Structure 1
Amino acid sequence: MPQYHDYNYSNFTGVSEQRRGLLKTYTWMFFGLLITAATSYLMYATNLYFAIIRGPMPLILMLVQFGIAFGFTGAMRSASSLTMKVLFVVFAITMGISLTSLGIVYQLGTIFVAFLVSAVYFACLMVIGFTTKKDLSSFGTICLGGLCALIITQVILMLFGFNMNTRLISIVGLLLFTGITAWDVQRTNQLMANTSGMTQEKFAIFMALELYLDFINIFLYVLRLLGMSSNRD
């Protein structure tokens, strides 16, 4: 008699859904970074940045970015996936305009090296987030609390005119985003494994923004550290 194996097709379908969700998340994340880089390059190469970054424009850009970042949670409940994609693209464009100033402050070679270092660093954190068996929720929450404390400390020091140790702040910020990024990668994996269809697509855009912000912050802290070393030399 022929032997028939009882394959668990539901598990196979679940894995396929998870992979599709992860692919959407990281595709949108890299797409956002590409939009930001292209926008910054266009602003810098055409000198358009100096024409538009006047008056209240920096404040408007900051308000738009904060509004989208904080409004994404509410958008998860009520907005469509298309609306979330549009908001994500708008956020990436405004961030690209804001980051154009880096081309004025730092040498292009330093920016390029910082991007490569950040990409390798981020890839290592992705491996950790995917492979670790330890639940990083508590660790990620602690890092978020530490990040809030770091931001508040920086604001207080600026208000009272105290000198800030830029190197120390950059190292602490980089360490905090190390934990936050690994946690976000793990969260993304778990969310994509437990959602499907339209819900999964919306979570994919949501987590793409989270990971996008993680990468941008890692890049900025790495750039500050490399920039300080370059200036010192």
Structure 2
Amino acid sequence: MNLYSVYSPDRIRKAVLNSFGWMAGGLVITGAVSAVLYSSGTFLNMLYNVPMLSLILALAQIVLTISITAGIYRMKESTMKVLYVIYAATMGVSLTSLAYVYDLGTIALAFVVSAVYFLCLVAIGYTTKMDLTRIGTICIGGLIALVITQLLLILFHVPMMVRLMSIVGLLIFTGLTAWDIQRLPVMLEQAEGTMMEGKLSIFMALELYLDFINIFLYILRLLGSRSSNN
């Protein structure tokens, strides 16, 4: 059974566009923050003045993610929006370091490829009649295994196979993205007409935002490792 059969076309379109609008807004904020910090040289000053900046940002992003996820039942929608904007801004600070590791042309190419790739996944998740729940569950398990593997490799100073890890990560987020797209209208339908509807839009926007960022990072690593070997 098609998971979208319970919706009217207008309802599906409105639900998807609302979350995607917030997702796109988050990406704009992230890109703008990174561009300003890099072009002005502020990022290097921040690294110099705050040696543990990367750790602080990582912890802040974890706290923000948990807050948005756990607070969906008790937070105001406006509060969730503010936290989401803050999260996107902190991610912009974190991703500024990429400009010092990769060529700007490679970063731009990776973003374009990621955008096209993401849109293809949107089309798949939006139109497929196959229930992707099981695939999503498998991908979550794969993501946990990937994170643990990477941590162990770093802990024991084992050289990581960047391409292999990037391909595996990209495959995992391919499944997660298609699953998130498919379950978006289902979750919104369950909250239709309640205060939860707007909150779920922000929550799913964060999910889609993270899907895109991870796809971008894995594609960038693939393109970056390839260009460095040429």
* Residue 193 of structure 1: how far off its partner (Å): 3.2
1:207-218 equivalence runs, <5 A: 207-218=204-215
- Contact 1:21 1:200 (8 Å CA) reproduced: no
> What is the TM-score with the length of structure 1 in the denominator?
0.92
Q: What residue is the counterpart of 1:5 in the other structure?
A: none
* Residue 59 of structure 1: how far off its partner (Å): 1.4
Matched residues, number: 223
1:130-209 equivalence runs, <5 A: 130-197=126-193, 198-209=195-206
Query: Which contiguous aligned blocks of 4+ residues in structure 1 show a shift greater than 4 angstroms?
Result: 11-15
Q: What amino acid does structure 2 have at the position aligned with 1:74? A: A
Task: Say whether residues 1:232 and 2:229 are aligned partners.
Answer: yes
Q: What amino acid does structure 1 have at the position aligned with 2:41? A: N
- Change in Cα spacing, 1:13 to 1:122, as seen in structure 2 (3 Å) is closer
Q: What amino acid does structure 2 have at the position aligned with 1:105? A: V
* Residue 21 of structure 1: how far off its partner (Å): 2.4
- Contact 1:40 1:97 (8 Å CA) reproduced: yes
CA distance in 1, matches of 2:70, 2:217: 28
Q: Which runs of 5+ in 2 are unaligned?
A: none
Please provide the CA RMSD for this pair: 1.6
> What is the TM-score with the length of structure 2 in the denominator?
0.93
Task: Say whether residues 1:221 and 2:218 are aligned partners.
Answer: yes
CA distance in 2, matches of 1:232, 1:14: 51
Q: What residue is the counterpart of 2:33 in the other structure?
A: 39
- Contact 1:14 1:193 (8 Å CA) reproduced: no
CA distance in 2, matches of 1:190, 1:114: 31
Q: Percent identity?
A: 51
CA distance in 2, matches of 1:193, 1:160: 47
Task: Say whether residues 1:80 and 2:76 are aligned partners.
Answer: yes
Aligned with 1:60 (options 44, 56, 61):
56
Q: Deviations over 1:136-190 (max 9, x none)?
A: 1111010010010011011011111111111100000000000000000001122
Q: What amino acid does structure 2 have at the position aligned with 1:214? A: D
